[in-house]
Structure 1
Amino acid sequence: MFHQILDPLTNLWLSGLVALVPVIVLLVLLAGLRWKAQWASLVTLAVGLGLAVLVWRMPVVQAVSASLDGTAQGVLNNLWLVFNAIWIHSMTVKSGHFEILRRTFAGLSNDLRIAAIIIAFGFGTLLEALAGSGAPVAICAGMLISLGLNPMKAIVASLVANTAPVAFGGLGNPVTMLGRTVQLTDGTGISAETFGAMIGRQTPFLAVLIPFVLLLIVDGRRGVKEVWPAALVGGVVFGAAQYLLSNHFSYQLTDIFSALIATFAVVIAARAMRARSTMAITEAVSTVGPRADDRGITGLDRLVAFGPYLIVIAVFSCAQIPGIKDWLATLQVTFPWPALSVESATGTPVNTSFVLNWGSATGSLLFVAAVLTMVLLRVSVPSALAAYWGVLTQFGWAIVTILAVFSLSYLMNFSGMIITLGSALAQTGVFYALLAPVVGWVGVFITGTDTGANALFGQLQATAAQQVGASPVLFGAANTTGGAMAKMVSPQNLAVGAAAVGLVGREGELLRRVIGWSLLFLALTCILVFLQSTPILGWMVNGL
């Protein structure tokens, strides 16, 4: 049994700083020294192993086992998901239906800047609501490239747009995890619905800004100057929908309906602007084909082209029906991960079981949707298998990056480095409200998911809140909202996006292009959460 050490250097601040070293190394190697992601992630994993063994005194065998556990989790919870999601997309391309999709989106506006908002912000949110884990970034970037956008701009725009829906992504899975994780000192818990309502009082403010940032990415200041009304409508409607749905309807369905409502609003705004001749295409922006291209495409053709995504919605919706959900939950195998036995610093056994939920895993549901897509689009079995092989070869070295970072996240968690880092930040007292979102940001950077960050730090946030006399609901929500700001810079997401658009090896450049936006959004989130912890905006927490 390995007993975690909270403060191995007998100075919590110093121990916390050392626990941050792997994150710093990864950032420096990727953005500073411009290493390729696979080598940067492998070196960082080696640094993490060294720290776990030498500083946190984790036995070598257990440290290696923890890393291999992360590798297995990466295959099940990331690669299996992303491969199947992009396989669906690949079959739409090979069958010719992606061209119909492209023309349909192009027909909504003949301005690529508007198309970027509709696809990356609207359609991307819908995909994030259903799957996540990099799939929305990969698919939306491919669509934008097909409309004439530069590949690097396409992936940057898709990464930034993927910020707004992350907190409620995967049918609200990060919020659900937060509700399961948090327990107060009196033994009571906080419902996921309560956390969802508080998150819905934070994310809308940032969602309003996303469409404007997309315009800056696609066409600079001129883009904002010329089509700001559509961006404003899209951001405000999306933010309002997020607030209303999360507070008065269902946090699980927040992203789905917010995406549909906001997309409809942007299309209406775009058509109104075109009618007033305010949508002229500028020479710096690629145009899509003329509307005449749409001749010969019937309504049924469009329905079939959107069919794969409708199938995904149907499959995931069916998986939530109580009887089916319970049955899927039985299709799993749980076993203790070998050579890994951990006890927390407080003496509580740490769950090291591996749950192979082959029936209910998101990747498995996407596989079912992919098979149904193959039937709908009349793709032959050999062609479908060739498409899957194409997805695997497309990722190449990105697979190494994804698995190495997953290995690092599990190593840092089981060794105690994660809880050391979080506990050090929690020592800042009343100013912790400024840092609560930063904890979530670090969690998502390491794990690649908001759900993972909440599993790691949800309880820590609630405990810190009670220690400083703040609202556990506020700090738990801050962990989720702050974490969403790191999705665009998480190495896993960068690797998936780069692989999808043929930019493997340029993850460092991607990181340099998006990290500024990530840190800006994080700073704004920190200020918002701090104000919500004071009488200035404390009324926003009332009633929760």
Structure 2
Amino acid sequence: MYQQDFDPAGSLGLSALVAFLPLLTLLILLGGFRMKAHWAGLVSLLVALAGAVFVYDMPVPQALDAGLLGSGVSVLIILWLTFNAIWIYNMTVHTGHFEVLRRSFASVSEDRRIQAIIIAFCFGALLEALAGGGSPIAICAVMLGVIGFDPLKAAAMALVANTAPVAFGGLGNPITVLATTTGLPAEDLGAMAGRQTPLLAMLVPFILVFMADGRRGLREAWAGALIGGVSFGVAQFVFANYVDYKLCDIFAALVAAAALILYSRFFLNSKSVGTTKAPAGQAHPDGESSEGGAAGGVTADGGAAVAVTATAEVVDTRRQQFLAFAPYAVIIAVFTLAQIPAIKDLLAEGTVVFAWPGLDIVSPSGEAVATNYTLNWASATGTLLMLSGLITAAVLRIGPAQAARIYVNTMRQFGWAIFTILCVFALSYVMNLSGQISTLGVWLAGAGGFFAFLSPIVGWFGVTITGTDAGSNALFGGLQAEVAQQLGAHPVLFGAANTSGGVMAKMISPQSLAVGTAAVGLVGAEGTLFRRVFGWSVLLLLLLCGIVYLQSTPVLDWMVVS
């Protein structure tokens, strides 16, 4: 048996420094040395193992076994999900229907910056609401590449856009998990998060426009960014507070998309502002010539996508457009049906929970630490996506043999990204089960009233190492509630701050970076991609820290759910 010790060095500050080393190593190797994510993840895992064994006195077999548990968890909640999401996309590429989808998005607006908001912000939020995981990053990165953005820029924009819906992604799963770890009502936590993240979601379209076209983009496309951001934020607030947090992102995405479509149809296109077909000699938003740019992404065979030239002259039939949108309509239908109580209960019967062999861990107080593995093979998001893929294959008339070949090529396309995800999940579980994560949390709690400012940072670190907002809430949700009780603060405020802060780290987590680079055919460029999005992550995090701190004071305490 291993008993955790949150202060093994005899000094909480020194213990926190040891616990922080794996995270610091990961950030420096990715951002400073631009090391490939799989090697950075492996080195950081070794640092975490060294700290667990030599400082925290965790037995070597249990430390290694903790890493195996983490890798096993990643197979179900990340790899299984992402493979199936990209498989669906690759089938649409194979049949040519993805080009129809691209032209449909392009027909909404001639301004490629507005197209980027609709694809990455609105459509990505819808995918995040339904499936979560890495699916919106992967699919939207490829779609942005197809409309002409540089592959690396496309991946960066998809990552930044994915911050807006994450707190309520997967039909509100992060909030649901947070409620179980804090013992607080899920409705209150969802409402509180709905009074934090919408304020930042309103800024995301402006960031996307700036990434696409710099200051010129802000000057020319600010109105579209404002309409998209405000409509999304208001809808997210309303549904989180007055309807159902589980439906929050679905309707926010649809409302924002509808607002942008109306704006483009009745104002923007009629004014011919910032069109995709730029004037002679004028560059596209990402610096390409106005004669057509290369589309990033990967083909169904796993290779780099070939250059795509704008084909505005092509007119698609209604049947072609129906088939292009059919896969995503299938996903919506499958996930909606899966939420019907009778079906949900039936799927839940396939869940198997068992204690992971070889792990016997207790907390400093002597309570057993959960080391269970939940094999929810029937209700898992990846399984529902697999079912959606099978239906999609039938709708698009793809034979079983061809669908299987596309699936195999989809797995090959990820390559080293698979190893990265396995390593980083192993890292998170070694840090958590050895007690390193709790050490960091206890150390931060010593900040007293200023912890309100630091509270989102705890969630930010949680997502950095776990890759999911739900994972961060599972790690730190209980800690946030406990610290709030010790300080006499609002536990709902700190709990929601954990999930809201984690949102800002989604774009820099190694799992997200690995999915993004794999999707656009640039595996190994994770360090470069990290540098492109890290500044945005920190900027949004600091803004949120300020908001949460003010919500803990008389200035904005009227916003706190009572």
Q: TM-score, normalised by structure 1?
A: 0.97
Work out which of the residue numbers 454, 476, 480 in structure 2 matches 1:435.
454
Contact 2:20 2:440 in 1 (8 A): yes
Work out which of the residue numbers 333, 348, 352 in structure 1 matches 2:367.
348
Deviations 1:346-405 (A, max 9, x none): 211011111111111111111111111111111111111111111111100111101000
For 1:473-488, what aligned pairs fall within 5 Å after superposition? 473-488=492-507
- C-alpha displacement at 1:276, in angstroms? 2.8
Match of 1:187 in 2: none
- C-alpha displacement at 1:284, in angstroms? 2.2
Match of 2:283 in 1: 284
1:330 aligns with 2:349: yes
For 1:48-63, what aligned pairs fall within 5 Å after superposition? 48-63=48-63
Match of 2:9 in 1: 9
Give the Cα–Cα distance (whole angstroms) in 2 for the partners of residues 13 and 471 of structure 1. Answer: 26
Work out which of the residue numbers 405, 423, 427 in structure 2 matches 1:386.
405
- C-alpha displacement at 1:462, in angstroms? 0.6
Q: Which amino acid aligns with 2:313?
A: A
Q: Secondary structure at the match of 1:17?
A: helix
Q: Secondary structure at the match of 1:334?
A: strand
Contact 1:108 1:115 in 2 (8 A): yes
Q: Which amino acid aligns with 1:368?
A: L
Deviations 1:292-328 (A, max 9, x none): 31x2x22232122111111111111111111111111
Give the Cα–Cα distance (whole angstroms) in 2 for the partners of residues 411 and 376 of structure 1. Answer: 44
1:182 aligns with 2:182: yes
**Could you tell which deviates more after superposition, 305-314 or 503-512?**
305-314
> What are the ranges of 5 or more consecutive residues in structure 1 without an aligned counterpart?
184-189
Q: Which amino acid aligns with 1:218?
A: A
Contact 2:111 2:273 in 1 (8 A): no
- C-alpha displacement at 1:290, in angstroms? 5.4
Match of 2:235 in 1: 241
Match of 2:162 in 1: 162
Give the Cα–Cα distance (whole angstroms) in 2 for the partners of residues 221 and 152 of structure 1. Answer: 20
**Could you tell which deviates more after superposition, 378-387 or 399-408?**
378-387
Give the Cα–Cα distance (whole angstroms) in 1 for the partners of residues 454 and 112 of structure 2. Answer: 38
Q: Which amino acid aligns with 1:338?
A: P
Q: Secondary structure at the match of 1:335?
A: strand
Root-mean-square deviation over aligned CA pairs: 1.1
Q: Secondary structure at the match of 1:355?
A: strand
Give the Cα–Cα distance (whole angstroms) in 2 for the partners of residues 405 and 97 of structure 1. Answer: 35
Contact 2:195 2:559 in 1 (8 A): yes
Match of 2:23 in 1: 23
> What are the ranges of 5 or more consecutive residues in structure 2 without an aligned counterpart?
285-289, 293-308
Work out which of the residue numbers 198, 205, 222 in structure 1 matches 2:192.
198
1:410 aligns with 2:429: yes
Match of 2:216 in 1: 222
Q: Secondary structure at the match of 2:377?
A: coil
- C-alpha displacement at 1:99, in angstroms? 1.0
Give the Cα–Cα distance (whole angstroms) in 2 for the partners of residues 49 and 230 of structure 1. Answer: 48
Give the Cα–Cα distance (whole angstroms) in 1 for the partners of residues 219 and 264 of structure 2. Answer: 14
Deviations 1:34-79 (A, max 9, x none): 1111111111111111100111111000001000001111111110
Match of 1:72 in 2: 72
**Could you tell which deviates more after superposition, 114-123 or 277-286?**
277-286
Contact 1:229 1:269 in 2 (8 A): no
Work out which of the residue numbers 462, 473, 477 in structure 2 matches 1:458.
477
Contact 2:112 2:275 in 1 (8 A): no
Runs of 4+ in 1 over 6 A off after TM superposition: none
Aligned residues: 535
Q: Which amino acid aligns with 1:289?
A: A
Match of 2:305 in 1: none
Match of 2:32 in 1: 32
Match of 1:512 in 2: 531
Give the Cα–Cα distance (whole angstroms) in 2 for the partners of residues 445 and 535 of structure 1. Answer: 31
Q: Secondary structure at the match of 1:252?
A: helix
Q: Which amino acid aligns with 1:161?
A: A
Q: TM-score, normalised by structure 2?
A: 0.94
- C-alpha displacement at 1:273, in angstroms? 2.2
1:321 aligns with 2:321: no
Give the Cα–Cα distance (whole angstroms) in 2 for the partners of residues 156 and 373 of structure 1. Answer: 28
Work out which of the residue numbers 327, 335, 346 in structure 2 matches 1:308.
327
Match of 2:207 in 1: 213
Give the Cα–Cα distance (whole angstroms) in 2 for the partners of residues 228 and 505 of structure 1. Answer: 34
Identity across matched positions, percent: 56
